Amino acid sequence: MRIRWVAGTVLLSLVLAAASFGGPAEPDTLVIVFPSHQGTLDGHFAVTTQDMLVVRNVYNALMKYKPDTTELTGDLAERWEVSPDGLTYTFRLRRNVVWQKGYGRLTAQDVKASFDRLRDPETKSPFAGLLSMVREIRVLDPYTIRFVLSEPYAPFLHLLTNYRVGPVVNARAARERGAAFAWDPVGTGPYEVERAVPRTEVVLRAFDQHFGGRPRIRRIITRTVPDLNAMVVGLENGQYHMLYSIQALDESVIRRLQQRGFTLTLYSRNLPRVLLMNVTKKPLDDLRVRRAIAHAINRQQIIALSMAGYGRPWYSPVPEGYFAATTQVPRYEYSPEKARQLLAEAGYRDGLDLPMQVFDVMKVTSDVIAEQLRRVGIRVQQEVLDQPTFIQRVLRRDGSISFAVHCCVRQPDPDFYLSDIFSRSKGGAIYISGLDLEPELAAARRETDVEKRRQMYVALQRKIMENVWMIPLVMEFDRNVHVPNLRGMPRRVEALWGLDLSRLFFE
């Protein structure tokens, strides 16, 4: 079952023959393209990797990860202190931080206003619940801010990185702009939004007053190009400089681009691909059916057919690269015979019908899994949605998303990932399970003894896999193809969605 990239070979060859490759026409401008459109640039609502490509560069956060690591360091915070009881976090801010678009210098009051906005029910941010442990935020002086928690929360510093609750937005600009803030945001990051056309493109210009110095690439254009053929042709003829997060591009096309001198950059995002299901709804409420599905999955085939070979099998609920990830969990090896036997025991000797919801970038993997399930008697009916619509329906929790291939990147602590999947109160864009493991998750996130906390997550992972409440599939590499003179790309790991565009430059 070879999928994708079957059309346009003759046309592409003609274009390639005529193309003159030699790097960007404007060396101070970088054009990045991807197949899915952006949903918002408001840092308190952004969820997708294409949203975060802009958000991570328009805003700063209190904390960030050092390049190519998952090690925390200060971003807006120069230094910080944590009380021995784990309830008080005090941050000393940089004094040379300037807001974009004439909003003056950043103070501790601005940082408080950003978190107040996110927590305000009227804002309706889907991430407000992630700060439920914050009892109070105090401004101690213009450059010192303190968070007082109602209970210990071990991964709190990870929470304050530039994702979901972490981006520090200008609350005054958000009030003044209203709904327009989603496409005309104000932050303190190395790039500011010059122009945005929803569902089409965003133009960023370097913010010369950024405390980190002047970005070397002066202008960056992020553009949605739904057709993969058009993306490749645009790269070849010099119209674009980077194909971003090209999980659906065929290996043969990647090889051809490399042969023509383009660079393939591979790195880890600690990014899993998983099969999630609502285990409270028939027929998925039956453990025998869930185990049958697990035995029907051929991970090597998924990697070969939907990831161009760039992945490796993974069997544990906590993604590889996270704290407390383990391989010591029950496995359900590929066995169509065992899958059919379990279905028969569950009363589905003649097979069963199973709706699957699919968003665009997961279509190919979903196709492969649907075919694998068909071979054991499970007839999958796919409903294909664009990614923002899919996520909005998950967040509505109306039960319309019940069986789906998903991912995703979270800060590399198990609490974020497992709570998103299994906590009714804290679950977010991947809460499909219908389960509530919040008591166990709460106990683990409150535990401040590192080893005790690790063992709690290991035990929870075993329990999840004994009951097949999710099916981990693979760990995949993120991959971009770009012009060869672009430098500064991640070399090993990029802990969050998006890229730090201020690291990039043309040689």
User: With pLDDT > 90 as the criterion, what percentage of the chain qualifies?
Assistant: 82
Is a pLDDT exceeding 60 seen at residue 2?
A: no
Over residues 207-234, the pLDDT tens digits come to 999 999 999 999 999 999 999 999 999 9
Contact between 35 and 228 (Cβ < 8 Å): yes
Predicted pLDDT of residue 11:
39
Three-state secondary-structure class, residue 135: strand
CB count within 10 Å of CB 381 equals 9
pLDDT band at 26 (very low <50, low <70, confident <90, very high): low
Predicted pLDDT of residue 428:
79
Is a pLDDT exceeding 90 seen at residue 449?
A: yes
φ, ψ (nearest 5 deg) of residue 454: -60, -45
Q: Which two tokens stand for residue 327?
A: 């391989």
Q: Which two tokens stand for residue 56?
A: 């991570």
Predicted pLDDT of residue 17:
36
The pLDDT of 176-180, averaged and rounded, is: 97
Flag the least confident range among 65-74, 359-368, 453-462. Answer: 359-368
Predicted pLDDT of residue 19:
41
Q: How far is CA 2 from the centre of its chain?
A: 27
Three-state secondary-structure class, residue 42: coil
The pLDDT of 10-21, averaged and rounded, is: 39
Is a pLDDT exceeding 80 seen at residue 339?
A: yes
Is a pLDDT exceeding 60 seen at residue 16?
A: no
Over residues 221-270, the pLDDT tens digits come to 999 999 999 999 999 999 999 999 887 788 889 999 999 999 999 999 99
DSSP E strands in 360-426: the ranges are: 378-385, 403-406
Is a pLDDT exceeding 70 seen at residue 1?
A: no
Rounded Cα distance between 29 and 261, Å, is: 20
Q: What angle do the packed helices 299-306 and 363-374 form, to 10 degrees?
A: 140
Q: What are the b/e assignments for 286-322, b being 16+ CB within 10 Å?
A: bebbbbbbbbbbbbeebbebbbbebbebbbbbbbbbb
CA dihedral (113, 119, 125, 129) positive or negative: positive
Predicted pLDDT of residue 187:
98
For the residues of 483-501, what is the DSSP string, one character each? -TTEE---SSB--SSS--G
The pLDDT of 401-415, averaged and rounded, is: 93
Over residues 133-150, the pLDDT tens digits come to 999 999 999 999 999 999
φ, ψ (nearest 5 deg) of residue 415: -60, -40
Over residues 279-321, the pLDDT tens digits come to 999 999 999 999 999 999 999 999 999 888 889 999 999 999 9
DSSP E strands in 119-208: the ranges are: 134-141, 144-149, 191-197, 201-206
Three-state secondary-structure class, residue 435: coil
CA dihedral (338, 339, 343, 344) positive or negative: negative
Q: Which two tokens stand for residue 148?
A: 């007082």
Contact between 482 and 241 (Cβ < 8 Å): yes
Rounded Cα distance between 311 and 299, Å, is: 10
Predicted pLDDT of residue 247:
75
pLDDT band at 121 (very low <50, low <70, confident <90, very high): very high
Rounded Cα distance between 373 and 23, Å, is: 45
φ, ψ (nearest 5 deg) of residue 382: -90, 135
Contact between 319 and 378 (Cβ < 8 Å): no
DSSP E strands in 198-262: the ranges are: 201-206, 219-224, 242-243
Number of helices and strands in the chain (H, E): 15, 19
Reply yes or no: is the peptide bond before residue 283 cis, omega within 30 of 0.
Answer: yes
Helix or strand run (H / E) with residue 82: strand 77-82
Three-state secondary-structure class, residue 476: strand
What is the reported pTM?
Answer: 0.85
Which residue, among 182, 171, 190, 203, has the nearest Cα to 103 in the 3D structure? Answer: 171
Report how far apart, in Å, the C-alpha atoms of 304 and of each of 201, 469, 470, 478 are: 32, 25, 22, 15
**Looking up tokens 């993974």, which residue turns up?**
314
Pairing mode, strands 29-34 and 242-243: parallel
Q: How far is CA 486 from the centre of its chain?
A: 24
Q: Which two tokens stand for residue 87?
A: 């309830």
Helix or strand run (H / E) with residue 174: helix 171-177
Is a pLDDT exceeding 80 seen at residue 7?
A: no
Which residue, among 158, 131, 149, has the nearest Cα to 44 in the 3D structure? Answer: 131
Provide the mean pLDDT of the chain.
Answer: 92
Is a pLDDT exceeding 70 seen at residue 22?
A: no
Report how far apart, in Å, the C-alpha atoms of 278 and of each of 210, 285, 428, 440, 466 are: 45, 8, 14, 19, 16
Rounded Cα distance between 437 and 150, Å, is: 20
Which residue, among 182, 270, 226, 173, has the nearest Cα to 36 in the 3D structure? Answer: 226
Which residue, among 200, 206, 169, 162, has the nearest Cα to 184 in the 3D structure? Answer: 169
The pLDDT of 38-55, averaged and rounded, is: 93
Predicted pLDDT of residue 453:
97
Over residues 373-402, the pLDDT tens digits come to 999 999 999 999 988 889 889 988 888 999
> Is 174 or 430 the better-scoring residue by pLDDT?
174
